[in-house]
């Protein structure tokens, strides 16, 4: 298990901390989704787990052992699959895999076996002799992932591994990632595709401004907002009625013909619908007690643009 | 484990270099063309006595047997291009101002009469006038003037002897040829170990300078490869795989050292075989195992310094444009300061002191110790050691820069 406690990090010459006291528990064999808008601290967190940054304060432990000591004793146990196509376009697929196996200290028979296994896992056998620079977007993503599997890591860090691929390649990548977790590996997965994270990850943490806003299983997170109401109105609400509602529900969100209330008791719903109809803006569509990850994410992180 | 990692890095770098055909052409052809062009362009830059394409005419306003004899003997002596005669000084002025000539020597009317055996030997002394194109280097102007004065002195000595012979009625004195009593002057280049040899050609002096300059330009391709790795995220991936940055640099050091050495060999071969085909003088390599070993030691030390300097520039810069500007301008400054473009002995005193701080000047010193002094390992050790120390310092600085950059940002 990866256990993170009070983790903080501040880059030199930056007024705000990139991470400001993060606590997370990532069980073994768990597919863990890490969500957050740009600048939330995801890359910093992944960089700290991957060993690209030295921890400044707080602790990172794997199975009770400090991360730095764990990385020393298990050099290939944590692998990062970056968002960039981090391989050499002038080398073939097989040459890239052999190179990245070699720099992890894997040689001879072990290297051949690992390269074969990575090729098979990403179904790249057919293009093993092709230059990596000539691969399609989907094949590049699969090679990027295959390189991450060479060290047979226990913890795999995937930074937006499906950006820019077609639906078929995406489905294949998601199946492969699911199989890795089934194999007992912990997968930390960042993505901006909420449907992907919702379909794939068992546990999720939402980060913003260096803090964890929410974490838990998908079921736990979605249940938290179960009493929220979303209405699509036939026409925008007249201002006097909108003012009355705002006074009664300060958390009300109104935009054009959409009305959102984060928390409304069920027995208050019929009266509200009648009030809106009387004001000339009857509800055309009602969503109550249901939300998806995207609505939760937007509610927690606000809607303002970050960069 | 580190051996497996290093082998993987070397293999990758070699494959990447071999697959980049345009890059290879640039790496090997450009320095060869450069050394050929620079050798031919500068073949006479150090040698004022070498045959020159600068033309000259003699304007003989005296039209006497004495002036004709002087003109004929001067033509035999001068190594400038003889462009014949012109009828008067105005025509010479025109040709010089149009850039058709470098010099015009005007022999004034009364030249013969003013000689020691002439009719007006004690009368007015008409001046010879040397008209020059101002773009002709001062050293060449001086060379022409010295030749003209020396020949005039010889002519006048002969005339004086003839006049004395006639006056004193001594036939032997009249028949005396001062040239027969001249003593030859030999120029001897002093070599290490007390040996001596003919003076080396200008190619021997200029080829090593441009060889060093080209070798340091390995900074451009190396930085381009390195920056591409950083931008593609491969360096980040290698760091996450716990590949030490020093090992990544070592992975580049050997392949680019080999590339740099091949560049050096090709450039020496161009100096040895292609430059003479194109009309220049051939680069003469010293013979003997010790001297050749010393030559390789200097060349290897230059490669280590150049590749490590390139690694430092690649670590300091973030884009290929930055690397090209900083690396390129850095090389030009090092070259200008180190006596590559202008030999240090032409520089004023304080600049000569400054030149000692340029690694290119240490490299030039090393090559001159072998190619000009035919020195062995012991003679080239000081400059080679200085270059190796410079390389190690640059490598250390590159590693430190990377550590600092990683603290500031994971990328």
For A107-254, where are the alpha helices, taking DSSP H only?
Answer: 108-121, 137-149, 167-182, 194-200, 218-224, 239-248
Give the Å distances, CA to CA, from B390 to B321, B385, B386. Answer: 25, 9, 6
Q: Which of B68-77, B235-244, B345-354 has the lowest mean pLDDT?
A: B345-354
β-pairing, A57-62 vs A2-9, is antiparallel
**Greatest mean pLDDT among A272-281, B134-143, B166-175, B185-194:** A272-281
Q: Which of A143-147, B23-27, B322-326 has the lowest mean pLDDT?
A: B23-27
Confidence bin at B31 (pLDDT 50/70/90): confident
Give the Å distances, CA to CA, from B259 to B219, B268, B324, B391. Answer: 12, 14, 19, 17
The residue of chain B nearest to residue A86, with distances taken between CA atoms, is: B234
How far apart are the C-alpha atoms of A166 and A288, rounded to whole Å? 34
How far apart are the C-alpha atoms of B109 and B107, rounded to whole Å? 7
Domains, chain A, ordered by start: 2-223 (3.40.50.300), 226-290 (no CATH)
pLDDT, mean over chain B: 84
Give the Å distances, CA to CA, from B391 to B246, B309, B361, B384. Answer: 14, 6, 15, 11
% of chain B exceeding 90 in pLDDT: 21
CB-CB neighbors (< 8 A) of A95 in chain B: 12, 15
The residue of chain A nearest to residue B248, with distances taken between CA atoms, is: A103
Which tens digit of pLDDT belongs to each residue from B361-381?
999 989 888 888 788 888 899
CB-CB neighbors (< 8 A) of A103 in chain B: 5, 8-9, 238, 241, 243
Give the Å distances, CA to CA, from B258 to A97, A282, B237, B273, B343. Answer: 25, 79, 26, 22, 29
Confidence bin at A306 (pLDDT 50/70/90): low
| pLDDT at res. A297 | 77
% of chain B exceeding 70 in pLDDT: 90
Q: Which residues contact B48 (CB under 8 A, 6 or more apart)?
A: B139, B140, B142, B143
Confirm or reject contact between A158 and chain B (CB < 8 A). Answer: no
Tokens of A219: 């079921």
Per-residue DSSP letter, A267: G
The residue of chain A nearest to residue B16, with distances taken between CA atoms, is: A90
SS (H, E, C) chain B: CHHHHHHHHHHHHHHHHHHCHHHHHHHHHHHHHHHHHHHHHCCCCCCCCCCCCCEEEEEECCCCHHHHHHHHHHHHHCCCEEEEECCCHHHHHHHHHCCCCCEEEEECCCCCCCCCCCCCCCCCCCCCEEEECCCCCHHHHHHHHHHHHHHHHHHHHHHHHHHHHHHHCCHHHHHCCHHHHCCCCCCCEECHHHCEECCCCHHHHHHHHHHHHHHHCCHHHHHHHHHHHHHHCHHHHHHHCCCCHHHHHHHHHHHHHHHHHHHHHHHHHHHHHHHHHCCCCCCCCCCCHHHHHHHHHHHHHHHHHHHHHHHHHHHHCCCHHHHHHHHHHHHHHHHHHCCCCCCHHHCCHHHHHHHCCCHHHHHHHHHHHHHCCCCCHHHHHHHHHHHHHHHHHHHHHHHHHHHHHHHHCCC
Q: Which residue do the tokens 């430092």 mark?
A: B312
* pLDDT at B187 > cutoff 90: no
How far apart are the C-alpha atoms of B187 and B198, rounded to whole Å? 7
H or E element: which one contains A72? helix A67-73
Confidence bin at B349 (pLDDT 50/70/90): confident
Q: Which of A286-300, B219-233, B380-394 has the lowest mean pLDDT?
A: A286-300
The residue of chain B nearest to residue A95, with distances taken between CA atoms, is: B12
ipTM associated with this complex: 0.79
Contact B233 A84 (CB under 8 A): yes
Give the Å distances, CA to CA, from A129 to A95, A126, B278. Answer: 8, 8, 45
Contact B232 A87 (CB under 8 A): yes
| pLDDT at res. B25 | 82
Q: Which residue do the tokens 């993170």 mark?
A: A4
Contact A76 B241 (CB under 8 A): yes
Q: Up-side HSE of residue B234: CA atoms within 13 Å toward CB?
A: 17
How far apart are the C-alpha atoms of A167 and B310, rounded to whole Å? 44
Give the nearest partner residue to B232 out of A76, A84, A147, using CB atoms: A84
Confirm or reject contact between A83 and chain B (CB < 8 A). Answer: yes
CB-CB neighbors (< 8 A) of B237 in chain A: 80, 82, 86-87, 100, 147
Q: Which residues contact B295 (CB under 8 A, 6 or more apart)?
A: B285, B286, B367, B370, B371
Tokens of B111: 């030249």
Q: How far is CA B377 from the centre of its chain?
A: 24
How far apart are the C-alpha atoms of B141 and B152, rounded to whole Å? 17
Contact B408 A12 (CB under 8 A): yes
Considering only residues 232 to 251 of chain A, which have any Cβ-Cβ distance to chain B shorter than 8 Å? none
Question: Which of A80, A62, A82, A81 shows the shortest CA–CA distance to A72?
Answer: A62
| pLDDT at res. B48 | 47
CB-CB neighbors (< 8 A) of A53 in chain B: 406-407, 410
* pLDDT at A191 > cutoff 60: yes
* pLDDT at B219 > cutoff 90: no
Contact B7 A102 (CB under 8 A): yes
How far apart are the C-alpha atoms of B31 and B38, rounded to whole Å? 10
Which tens digit of pLDDT belongs to each residue from A98-132?
999 999 999 899 999 999 999 999 999 999 999 99
Determine the average pLDDT of the residues in B63-70.
Answer: 90
Domains, chain B, ordered by start: 2-45+201-408 (no CATH), 55-183 (3.40.50)
Determine the average pLDDT of the residues in B389-395.
Answer: 94
Question: Which of B299, B210, B319 shows the shortest CA–CA distance to B258?
Answer: B299
* pLDDT at B91 > cutoff 50: yes
Q: How far is CA B235 from the centre of its chain?
A: 40
Confidence bin at A28 (pLDDT 50/70/90): confident
Q: Which phi and psi (to 5°) does residue A226 adopt? A: -65, -25
Cβ–Cβ under 8 Å, residues A298 and A29: no
Confidence bin at B334 (pLDDT 50/70/90): confident
């Amino acid at each position: 298990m990866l256990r993170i406690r009070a983790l903080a990090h501040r880059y030199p010459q930056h007024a705000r901390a990139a991470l400001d006291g993060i606590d997370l528990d990532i069980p073994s064999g768990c597919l863990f989704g890490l969500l957050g808008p740009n600048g939330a601290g995801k890359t910093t967190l992944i960089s700290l787990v991957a060993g690209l940054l030295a921890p400044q304060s707080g602790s990172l432990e794997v199975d009770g052992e400090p991360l730095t000591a764990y990385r020393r004793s298990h050099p290939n146990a944590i692998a990062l699959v970056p968002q960039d196509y981090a391989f050499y376009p002038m080398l073939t697929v097989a040459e890239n895999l052999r190179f990245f196996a070699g720099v992890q200290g894997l040689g001879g028979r072990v290297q051949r076996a690992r390269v074969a296994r990575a090729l098979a896992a990403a179904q790249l056998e057919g293009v093993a002799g092709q230059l990596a620079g000539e691969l399609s977007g989907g094949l590049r993503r699969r090679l990027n992932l295959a390189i991450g599997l060479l060290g047979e890591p226990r913890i795999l860090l995937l930074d937006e591994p499906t950006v820019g691929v077609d639906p078929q390649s995406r489905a294949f990548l998601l199946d492969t990632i699911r199989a890795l977790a089934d194999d007992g590996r912990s997968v930390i997965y960042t993505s901006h595709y909420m449907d992907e994270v919702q379909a794939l990850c068992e546990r999720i943490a939402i980060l913003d401004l260096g803090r964890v806003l929410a974490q838990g299983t998908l079921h736990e997170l979605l249940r938290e907002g179960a009493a929220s109401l979303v209405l699509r109105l036939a026409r925008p609400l007249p201002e006097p009625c909108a003012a009355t509602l705002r006074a009664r529900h300060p958390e009300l969100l109104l935009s054009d013909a959409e009305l959102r209330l984060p928390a409304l008791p069920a027995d208050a719903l019929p009266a509200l619908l009648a009030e809106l109809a009387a004001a000339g803006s009857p509800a055309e569509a009602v969503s109550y007690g249901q939300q998806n990850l995207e609505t939760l994410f937007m509610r927690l992180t606000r809607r303002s643009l970050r960069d | 484990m580190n051996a497996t990692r290093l082998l993987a890095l070397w293999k990758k770098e070699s494959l990447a270099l071999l697959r980049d055909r345009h890059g290879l052409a640039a790496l090997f052809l450009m320095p060869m063309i450069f050394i050929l062009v620079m050798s031919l362009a500068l073949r006479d830059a150090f040698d004022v006595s070498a045959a020159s394409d600068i033309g000259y005419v003699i304007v003989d306003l005296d039209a006497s047997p004495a002036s004709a004899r002087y003109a004929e003997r001067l033509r035999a002596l001068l190594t400038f291009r003889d462009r014949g005669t012109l009828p008067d000084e105005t025509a010479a002025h025109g040709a010089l101002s149009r850039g058709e000539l470098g010099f015009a020597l005007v022999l004034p009317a009364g030249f013969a009469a003013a000689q020691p055996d002439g009719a007006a030997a004690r009368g007015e002394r008409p001046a010879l006038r040397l008209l020059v194109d101002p773009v002709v280097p001062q050293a060449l102007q001086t060379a022409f003037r010295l030749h003209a004065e020396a020949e005039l002195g010889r002519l006048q000595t002969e005339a004086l002897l003839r006049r004395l012979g006639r006056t004193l009625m001594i036939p032997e004195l009249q028949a005396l040829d001062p040239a027969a009593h001249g003593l030859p002057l030999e120029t001897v280049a002093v070599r290490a170990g007390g040996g001596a040899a003919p003076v080396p050609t200008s190619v021997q002096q200029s080829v090593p300078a441009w060889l060093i300059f080209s070798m340091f330009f390995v900074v451009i391709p190396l930085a381009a490869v390195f920056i591409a790795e950083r931008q593609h995220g491969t360096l980040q991936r290698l760091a996450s795989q716990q590949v030490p940055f020093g090992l990544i640099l070592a992975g580049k050091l050997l392949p680019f050292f080999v590339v740099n050495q091949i560049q050096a060999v090709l450039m020496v071969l161009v100096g040895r075989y292609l430059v003479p085909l194109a009309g220049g003088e051939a680069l003469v390599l010293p013979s003997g195992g010790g001297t050749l070993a010393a030559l390789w030691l200097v060349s290897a030390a230059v490669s280590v310094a150049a590749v490590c300097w390139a690694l430092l520039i690649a670590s300091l810069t973030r884009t290929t444009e930055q690397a090209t500007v900083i690396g390129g301008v850095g090389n030009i400054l090092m070259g200008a300061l180190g006596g590559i473009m202008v030999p240090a002995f032409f520089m004023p005193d304080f600049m000569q002191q400054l030149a000692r701080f340029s690694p290119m000047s240490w490299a030039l010193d090393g090559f001159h110790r072998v190619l000009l002094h035919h020195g062995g390992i012991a003679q080239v050790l000081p400059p080679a050691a200085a270059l190796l120390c410079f390389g190690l310092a640059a490598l250390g600085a590159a590693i430190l820069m990377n550590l600092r950059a990683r603290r500031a940002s994971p990328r």
